[in-house]
Structure 1
Amino acid sequence: MTKSNTKIHKILLVRMSAMGDIVMATPLLKAIKRRYPQAEISWAVQPEFADVIRGHELLDELIIIPKGQWTKDFKALHWVRLWKEIRRLKKQLRAAEFDLAIDLQSLAKSGILVKWSQAKRKIGLNSREGSQKWMDEVVDGSVVTGELISSEYQAMAEYLGCSIDSFQMRLPANLDTPSWKEITTELGSDYLVFCPFTTRPQKHWFDENWQALAALLPANKKIAILGGPGDTVAAESLMKNMPGNVVNLVGKTRIQEAIAVIRHSNGVIGVDTGLTHMGIAENKPTLALFGSTLPYSNTRSAKAKVLYHQLDCSPCRRNPTCEGRFDCMRALSPEWVLQEWQVLNQGVNVEVRL
Structure 2
Amino acid sequence: MRGSNKILVIRFSAMGDVAMTAPVLKELMRNYPDTALVVVSRTLFKPFFNDIANLSFHPFEPGHQHKGFWGLIKLFLELRKHQITAVADLHNNLRSKILCLLFFLTGIKTAKIDKGRQEKAALTRKHHKILRPIQLTVVRYAAVFKALGFPFELKNTIKERQPETLKPERFPFIPLPKTKKWIGVSPFAQHKQKVYPLQKTEIVLLALANSGHQLFIFGGSAGEAETARQWEQKHENIISAVGKINLEEELKLISNLDVMLSMDSSGMHLASLKNVPVVSVWGATHPYAGFLGYGQSINDAVQTDLYCRPCAVYGNVPCYRGDFACMNNLQESVVINSVLNKISDGEKNTISQTR
TM-score of the two chains, using structure 2 as the length reference: 0.77
Q: Which residue of 2 aligns with 1:212?
A: 203
Q: Which residue of 2 aligns with 1:9?
A: 5
Q: Which residue of 2 aligns with 1:43?
A: 39
| Aligned equivalent of 1:30, options 20, 26, 30 | 26
Whether the aligned pair in 1 keeps the contact of 2:164 and 2:255 (CA below 8 Å) is: no
Aligned pairs (5 A) from 1:301-312: 301=296, 305-312=300-307
Change (3 A) 1:125 1:303: closer
The answer for unaligned runs of 5 or more in structure 2 is 118-131, 349-355
Aligned pairs (5 A) from 1:254-273: 254-273=246-265
**Matched residues in 2 for 1:108 and 1:128: separation?**
17
Give secondary structure in 2 for the equivalent of 1:123. strand
Counterpart amino acid of 1:260?
K
Aligned pairs (5 A) from 1:90-129: 90-117=76-103, 118=106, 120-126=108-114
**Matched residues in 2 for 1:253 and 1:247: separation?**
13
**CA RMSD after TM alignment:** 3.5
Change (3 A) 1:331 1:296: farther
Give secondary structure in 2 for the equivalent of 1:24. helix
**Matched residues in 2 for 1:109 and 1:308: separation?**
35
Change (3 A) 1:177 1:45: farther
Change (3 A) 1:176 1:155: farther
Aligned pairs (5 A) from 1:199-348: 199-219=190-210, 220-232=212-224, 235-236=227-228, 239=231, 242-294=234-286, 295-296=290-291, 300-301=295-296, 305-317=300-312, 318-322=316-320, 325-348=323-346
Counterpart amino acid of 2:196?
W
| Aligned equivalent of 1:69, options 64, 70, 81 | 64
Displacement of 1:181 in angstroms is: 4.6
Whether the aligned pair in 2 keeps the contact of 1:284 and 1:303 (CA below 8 Å) is: no
Displacement of 1:344 in angstroms is: 2.4
**Matched residues in 2 for 1:180 and 1:198: separation?**
30
Change (3 A) 1:338 1:180: farther
Whether the aligned pair in 2 keeps the contact of 1:146 and 1:152 (CA below 8 Å) is: no
Whether the aligned pair in 1 keeps the contact of 2:163 and 2:256 (CA below 8 Å) is: no
**Matched residues in 1 for 2:299 and 2:272: separation?**
6
Q: Which residue of 1 aligns with 2:153?
A: 164
Displacement of 1:146 in angstroms is: 2.8
Counterpart amino acid of 2:19?
V
**Once the two structures are superposed, what CA deviation does each residue of 1:102-134 show, in whole Å capped at 9, x if it has no partner?**
1100101122223334462111112799xxxxx
Deviates more, 1:149-158 or 1:277-286: 149-158
Give secondary structure in 1 for the equivalent of 2:46. helix
The answer for unaligned runs of 5 or more in structure 1 is 1-6, 75-81, 130-143
Change (3 A) 1:225 1:236: closer
**Matched residues in 2 for 1:215 and 1:20: separation?**
27
**Matched residues in 2 for 1:99 and 1:185: separation?**
46
Tell me how many residue pairs correspond in the alignment: 318
Displacement of 1:236 in angstroms is: 4.8
